Amino acid sequence: MRHLIRIDELIRDEMTRLFDLAADMETLREMGSDLCKGRILFYEPSPRTRLSFESAMIRLGGSVLGFSDPQSTSFVKHETLADTVHMVCNYADIIVIRHPHAGAAQLAAQHSPVPVVNAGDDSHQHPTQTLTDLYTLRKTRGDISSLTVGVCGDLRYGRAAHSLAYGLATFGAKIVLIAPDGLTMPDEIVWRLNHLYGATVETVASPMDAIAELDVLYVNRLQKERLPQELDPAAVVEIAKQYRIDAETMRHARPDCLIMHPLPRVDEIARELDDDPRAIFFEQSSNGVPVRMALMAMLLNRVDRPPLTEKSPDLTTHADPICHNPVCITQHEPRVAPLSHRVAPDHQVCLYCQLPY
């Protein structure tokens, strides 16, 4: 049995197999199928991603149950996540979870006899968005490894950006991190891109510093809801304006430079670019359906393809009872084992939120 919690659990070959299957799913998407008579359960609000997973499961012949509003669950009655998972796996064959704490999907997986898919855990990761993004790149450009991709915007709190960076590094693409001061990519992720992937990473502060060299400009909105309380949101909004992309920015881009965005868009891509043929974010969003169909069919072992291999991270017990990241699930769930993940011989991180202790 396999879960999908972080994009960096997947090797290149597994992602490629999944994309091949997603391409086949494009046909089933139209025709419908009874490949998975499974039931999916969604936990936590998320209009876009939830609809995409639900649409995928229904097109596979399965059904959907769950709640999209945490206020309607025992979450508000302070039931632990572990207890909720023990209960819901009686009703579902696969659990898709979005949660406000980093590492929640990891914790859910530890308690679940059915596959768990992480649909976003705080600002930590969003692996199925990355699979959708990479599939879109493969479909439109063929070879991902030869691309130079600018990942632009709120790279500090954006989980889609975090997972995407690892995904691009897996394929050997050149990554240009574009973020103003205060919203730059966390050091831990840059460290891993350099040391674990040997990725080619460049860092600039403004889109104009890199636009001319990009094959793809991937824009991320300011994650206003995740800003730490000590930051003044109005000041950060002003900072975020520095990376707004408009027709003038794109005038300096290559004629075939794609504009991508995980959506929802707020104001970081001017509406005047909607008619620009390089803007492919709605097509990108649509690709989430065949990709999620492929992923769920694989995790439920309903396809005649090699399954995703099970990975066991190199775990150690940490002396600290909990990790010090305030949004880590270990700070909110009682009785979580203080496990750390050895990602390199001298580099250990919390198993749940993946930040150093």
Nearer to ligand NCD, 184 or 301 (CB): 184
At 191, list the tokens.
């460290």
CB of 226 to ligand NCD, least distance (A): 9
Prior bond to 264 cis, omega within 30? Answer: yes
Number of residues that bind ligand NCD (CB under 6 A): 10
According to the binding rule CB under 6 A, does residue 224 interact with ligand NCD? no
Q: Which of 237, 263, 270, 303 binds ligand NCD (CB under 6 A)?
A: 263
Contact criterion met (CB below 8 Å) for 327 and 73: no
At 312, list the tokens.
């066991």
Residues in Cβ contact with 155 at an 8 Å cutoff, skipping those fewer than 6 apart: 161, 162, 177, 178, 179, 183, 184, 185, 186, 220
According to the binding rule CB under 6 A, does residue 167 interact with ligand NCD? no
How far is residue 132's CA from residue 280's CA, in Å, rounded to a whole number?
A: 12
According to the binding rule CB under 6 A, does residue 173 interact with ligand NCD? no
Q: Which of 96, 105, 160, 328 binds ligand NCD (CB under 6 A)?
A: 160
How far is residue 340's CA from residue 202's CA, in Å, rounded to a whole number?
A: 29
At 193, list the tokens.
């891109």
In Å, how far from its chain's centre is CA 323? Answer: 22
How far is residue 287's CA from residue 39's CA, in Å, rounded to a whole number?
A: 21
Phi/psi of residue 41, nearest 5 degrees: -125, 135
At 3, list the tokens.
């879960």
Contact criterion met (CB below 8 Å) for 313 and 351: yes
Contact criterion met (CB below 8 Å) for 154 and 220: yes
According to the binding rule CB under 6 A, does residue 101 interact with ligand NCD? no
CB of 328 to ligand NCD, least distance (A): 18
Nearer to ligand NCD, 263 or 303 (CB): 263
Contact criterion met (CB below 8 Å) for 94 and 40: yes
Nearer to ligand NCD, 35 or 137 (CB): 137
Nearer to ligand NCD, 99 or 159 (CB): 159
Q: Which of 62, 103, 115, 120 binds ligand NCD (CB under 6 A)?
A: 120
CB of 223 to ligand NCD, least distance (A): 6
According to the binding rule CB under 6 A, does residue 136 interact with ligand NCD? no
Nearer to ligand NCD, 46 or 148 (CB): 46
Nearer to ligand NCD, 109 or 119 (CB): 119
CB of 264 to ligand NCD, least distance (A): 6
Q: Which of 124, 159, 162, 318 binds ligand NCD (CB under 6 A)?
A: 159
CB of 132 to ligand NCD, least distance (A): 9
- Grouping H, G, I as helix, E, B as strand and the rest as coil, residue 245 is strand
Q: At what angle do helices 159-171 and 127-141 cross, to 10 degrees?
A: 50
At 110, list the tokens.
């530890």
CB of 288 to ligand NCD, least distance (A): 8
Q: Are β-strands 258-260 and 315-317 bridged in parallel, bridged antiparallel, or unpaired?
A: unpaired
According to the binding rule CB under 6 A, does residue 49 interact with ligand NCD? yes
According to the binding rule CB under 6 A, does residue 126 interact with ligand NCD? yes
Q: Which of 48, 86, 224, 252 binds ligand NCD (CB under 6 A)?
A: 48
Q: Which of 262, 293, 318, 330 binds ligand NCD (CB under 6 A)?
A: 262
At 342, list the tokens.
């050895």
**Sites of contact with ligand NCD (CB under 6 A):** 48-49, 120, 126, 129, 159-160, 221, 262-263
